[in-house]
């Protein structure tokens, strides 16, 4: 069975309401699966598919594909996790979703579909009756921990998009003020993404929102909150949401406090896997206080959350269920025939869209068009550079040089501590491939593999996320040796999960230069708990590296005392004898 998913953009809703389940089923050999953005869909994609899944689809292209695919006898599925036909006017997405053309496209696409999938019982009741089949699905826990670590202080957190700041201001401000006054320095309170008005006044910590689901969940795991806050406004729009905040908190053993309303009442059992409270200051203060003071209850809820995340919300459980509800009574036909006029239809839609924009923008249309063209030109330049770098990567992979050195680059490397230690003889490693870590913001993720020096094939990538991680890992695999030089000194919260994959590459000698303890001024500069994050990275690196490089015996003893002694090479670099021993290890590792 061939399954095609279409959606305007690849947002977390698309990932959690279809993509991850279908990708899992493909890996199990049950289906062949493709995801294509709506505007890039081609006739051959539609002809190939037996089943087409529309993810919150809202464009005229989606409506057209749904219409012709229905005539061709395809099985069509529509999933929805928000009431996008009734978006409140105060949300940033409202101007788009409230357009008559957008509303028309959504309804037209839905009207062609056989099956409706949603994680919301309210949406099921609201829209499901017009479909032949209608099913409730659950969003999975994709990244989770096995066991929660203890904190010295009780850590309380809220995670949500920037739009949620107003909800926090209205529902939680007075409660947070009372909790801070009551418990003072015995607790820590952090807000990720949403930045409430009272944050600086109360000296609370703000954590920047992490784009990309993997980065977001990895960051959540490192935060290690004991208590998670999940306030929800009482509105018809919010009733239609899913209790995904519970699934997120449960994945990391966080005991959550949730507004006593739909959708949370569908997933939360009060005092078993979370607390349910009404949106009053008194109830929020009482609930937070109860979890701060009642360690036994907090631990019980945490353990139940971790258990449910694994047994109830894991992909191995939810993906087969999604698959069965998606296919329904569908039986694939041998041949659907050729679909005519597809390219012409797409061109016509784009012309109509321009005309509609002229009507919407009125006299402001020339300025709008100029900004649009400038943006497209910038994207074109970025894509051209990205593909140029990709071709260079392929060339580098074919050449298969010997040693990779992963180290800070540019300003990130320019600090007093790095200037004190020169680990490698630059003459010896001049022809080695060096992967430098760059601290640029995630917005440049499509440009983050840039060749700094073609003659030595030096590579820089963004330490938030490696857009070309697979290619770089293939290069390291081919080299057989990888030296990781002091990355913990500056990565802090930026480390990518791809970094850990280096240690799992077969037949690769990994040498980690631990580079000493974290300088104290990093604690002051960091907007998160640097020490906690660094310790987490240290623990993984120490457990998996083949060789540990220490500046002195004291540092070696520190690691052994902290994590236990391992069957690995410990290398001490006394001043003036820094290169010989490491080079022997490199060549010895290569020969073995």
Residue 38 and residue 59 in contact, taking contact as beta carbons nearer than 8 Å: yes
Q: What is d(CA 73, CA 55) in angstroms, rounded to the nearest whole number?
A: 19
Neighbour-count burial of 562, counting CB atoms closer than 10 A to its CB (0-12 exposed, 13-18 middle, 19+ buried)? exposed
Q: Mean pLDDT across the stretch 48-60?
A: 93
| Predicted confidence band of residue 320 (pLDDT cuts 50, 70, 90) | very high
Same domain, 199 and 327: no
Q: Mean pLDDT across the stretch 46-59?
A: 93
Tell whether 170 is covered by a domain.
yes
Among 278, 313, 348, where does a domain finish?
313
- Looking at the 3D structure of the chain, how many domains does it have? 3
* Strand-strand pairing, 450-453 and 433-438: unpaired
Give the end-to-end CA distance of the chain in Å, rounded to a whole number: 46
Give me the pLDDT at residue 494, please: 44
Supply 153's token pair.
């202080």
Same domain, 175 and 278: yes
Cα Rg of the chain (Å, integer): 27
Q: What percent of the chain has pLDDT over 90?
A: 39
Looking at mean pLDDT, say which of 108-112, 198-202, 572-576 comes out highest: 108-112
Give me the pLDDT at residue 409, please: 43
Among 290, 305, 340, where does a domain finish?
340
Same domain, 406 and 533: yes
Q: What is d(CA 443, CA 423) in angstroms, rounded to the nearest whole number?
A: 32
Residue 447 and residue 382 in contact, taking contact as beta carbons nearer than 8 Å: yes
| Predicted confidence band of residue 431 (pLDDT cuts 50, 70, 90) | low
**Closest CA relative to residue 243, chosen from 97, 79, 116, 121:** 121
Q: What is d(CA 326, CA 1) in angstroms, rounded to the nearest whole number?
A: 12
Helix (H) or strand (E) holding 48, with range, is: helix 43-48
Same domain, 461 and 515: yes
Same domain, 44 and 118: yes
Q: Mean pLDDT across the stretch 280-291?
A: 96
**Which residue, chain included where needed, has tokens 């937070």?**
288
Tell whether 384 is covered by a domain.
no
Tell whether 544 is covered by a domain.
yes
Q: What is d(CA 43, CA 136) in angstroms, rounded to the nearest whole number?
A: 31
| Predicted confidence band of residue 35 (pLDDT cuts 50, 70, 90) | very high
Tell whether 145 is covered by a domain.
no
Same domain, 420 and 553: yes
Q: Tell me the pLDDT tens digit for each residue of 136-164.
A: 999 999 888 888 888 989 999 999 887 78
Neighbouring residues of 216: CB distance < 8 A, sequence distance ≥ 6: 159, 209, 210
Same domain, 420 and 451: yes
Give me the pLDDT at residue 346, please: 75
**Closest CA relative to residue 467, chosen from 438, 490, 492:** 438
Give me the pLDDT at residue 6, please: 94
Helices (H), ranges, 294-406: 295-311, 315-327, 342-361, 365-399
pTM (global) more than 0.85: no
Neighbouring residues of 99: CB distance < 8 A, sequence distance ≥ 6: 360
Same domain, 443 and 526: yes
Q: Mean pLDDT across the stretch 20-35?
A: 93
**Neighbour tally for 238: CB within 10 Å:** 18
Supply 152's token pair.
């010295």
Tell whether 405 is covered by a domain.
yes
Distances in whole angstroms, Cα of residue 44 to Cα of each of 30, 39, 41, 69, 515: 22, 14, 8, 12, 54
Same domain, 306 and 324: no
Q: What is d(CA 400, CA 118) in angstroms, rounded to the nearest whole number?
A: 48
**Neighbour tally for 402: CB within 10 Å:** 15
Rounded to the nearest integer, the mean pLDDT of the chain is 77
| Predicted confidence band of residue 308 (pLDDT cuts 50, 70, 90) | very high
- What range defines the domain where residue 572 resides? 400-591
**Closest CA relative to residue 299, chosen from 267, 255, 256:** 255
Distances in whole angstroms, Cα of residue 325 to Cα of each of 17, 117, 118, 123, 138: 12, 8, 11, 16, 11
Give me the pLDDT at residue 407, please: 53
Tell whether 272 is covered by a domain.
yes
Tell whether 346 is covered by a domain.
no
Q: Strand, helix or coil at 75? A: strand
Q: What is d(CA 462, CA 453) in angstroms, rounded to the nearest whole number?
A: 17
Q: Tell me the pLDDT tens digit for each residue of 446-459.
A: 333 344 334 444 44
Give me the pLDDT at residue 176, please: 95
Give me the pLDDT at residue 403, please: 53
Residue 15 and residue 213 in contact, taking contact as beta carbons nearer than 8 Å: yes
Give me the pLDDT at residue 553, please: 73
Same domain, 307 and 407: no
Instruction: Tell me: pLDDT of 411 over 50.
Output: no
Give me the pLDDT at residue 325, please: 94
**Which residue, chain included where needed, has tokens 């820089």?**
460
Q: Tell me the pLDDT tens digit for each residue of 510-559.
A: 877 775 544 444 434 333 333 444 456 677 778 888 877 776 677 788 78
Q: Mean pLDDT across the stretch 485-504?
A: 58
The DSSP output letter for 202 is T
Same domain, 329 and 270: no
Tell whether 203 is covered by a domain.
yes
**Closest CA relative to residue 188, chosen from 158, 164, 144, 161:** 158
**Neighbour tally for 468: CB within 10 Å:** 19
- String of DSSP letters for 515-571: -SSPPHHHHHH-SS-HHHHHHHHHHHHHHH-SEEEESSHHHHHHHHHHH---SSEEE
Same domain, 538 and 447: yes
Q: What is d(CA 534, CA 537) in angstroms, rounded to the nearest whole number?
A: 5
Supply 199's token pair.
């944050």
């Amino acid at each position: 069975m061939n399954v095609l998913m279409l959606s305007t953009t690849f947002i977390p809703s698309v990932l959690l309401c279809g993509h991850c389940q279908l990708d899992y089923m493909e890996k199990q050999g049950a289906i062949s699966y493709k995801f294509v953005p709506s505007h890039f869909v081609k006739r051959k994609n539609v002809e190939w598919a037996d089943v087409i899944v529309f993810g919150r689809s809202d464009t005229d292209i989606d409506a057209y594909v749904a219409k012709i695919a229905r005539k061709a006898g395809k099985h069509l599925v529509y999933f929805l996790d928000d009431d996008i036909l009734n978006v409140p006017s105060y949300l940033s997405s409202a101007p788009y979703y409230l357009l008559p053309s957008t509303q028309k496209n959504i309804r037209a696409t839905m009207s062609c579909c056989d099956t409706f999938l949603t994680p919301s019982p309210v949406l099921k009741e609201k829209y499901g009756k017009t479909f032949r089949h209608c099913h409730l699905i659950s969003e999975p826990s994709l990244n989770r921990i096995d066991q929660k670590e203890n904190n010295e202080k009780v850590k309380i957190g809220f995670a949500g998009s920037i739009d949620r700041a107003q909800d926090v201001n209205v529902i939680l401000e007075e409660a947070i003020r009372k909790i801070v006054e009551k418990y003072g320095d015995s607790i820590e309170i952090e807000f990720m993404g949403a930045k409430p008005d009272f944050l600086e006044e109360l000296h609370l910590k703000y954590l920047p929102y992490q784009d990309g689901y993997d980065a977001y969940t990895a960051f959540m795991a490192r935060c290690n909150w004991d208590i998670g806050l999940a306030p929800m406004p009482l509105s018809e729009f919010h009733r239609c949401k899913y209790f995904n905040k519970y699934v997120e908190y449960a994945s990391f053993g966080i005991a959550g406090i949730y507004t006593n309303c739909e959708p949370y009442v569908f997933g939360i059992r009060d005092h078993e896997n979370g607390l349910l409270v009404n949106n009053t200051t008194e109830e929020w203060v009482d609930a937070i206080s109860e979890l701060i003071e009642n360690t036994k209850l907090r631990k019980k809820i945490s353990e139940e959350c971790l258990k449910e995340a694994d047994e109830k919300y894991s992909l191995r459980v939810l993906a087969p269920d999604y698959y069965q509800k998606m296919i329904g009574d569908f039986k694939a036909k041998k041949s659907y025939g050729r679909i005519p006029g597809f390219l012409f239809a797409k061109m016509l839609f784009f012309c109509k869209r321009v005309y509609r924009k002229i009507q919407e923008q009125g006299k402001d249309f020339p300025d709008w068009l100029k900004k649009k063209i400038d943006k497209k030109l910038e994207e074109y330049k970025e894509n051209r550079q990205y593909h140029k770098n990709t071709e260079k990567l392929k060339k580098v992979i074919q050449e298969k040089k010997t040693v990779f050195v992963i180290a800070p680059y540019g300003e990130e490397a320019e600090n007093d501590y790095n200037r004190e230690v020169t680990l490698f003889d630059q003459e010896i490693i001049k022809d080695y491939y060096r992967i430098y870590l760059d601290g640029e913001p995630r917005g440049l993720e499509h440009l983050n593999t840039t060749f700094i020096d073609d003659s030595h094939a030096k590579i820089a990538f963004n330490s938030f996320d490696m857009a070309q991680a697979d290619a770089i890992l293939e290069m390291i695999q081919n080299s057989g040796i990888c030296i990781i030089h002091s990355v913990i000194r500056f990565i802090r919260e930026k480390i990518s999960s791809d970094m850990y994959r280096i240690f799992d590459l077969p037949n690769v000698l990994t040498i980690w230069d631990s580079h000493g303890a974290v300088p104290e001024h990093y604690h002051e500069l960091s907007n998160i708990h640097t020490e906690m994050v660094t310790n987490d990275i240290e623990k993984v690196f120490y457990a998996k590296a083949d060789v540990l490089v220490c500046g002195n015996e004291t540092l070696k003893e520190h690691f052994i005392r902290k994590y236990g002694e391992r069957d690995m090479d410990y290398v001490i670099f006394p001043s003036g004898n820094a290169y010989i021993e490491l080079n022997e290890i490199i060549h010895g590792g290569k020969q073995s």
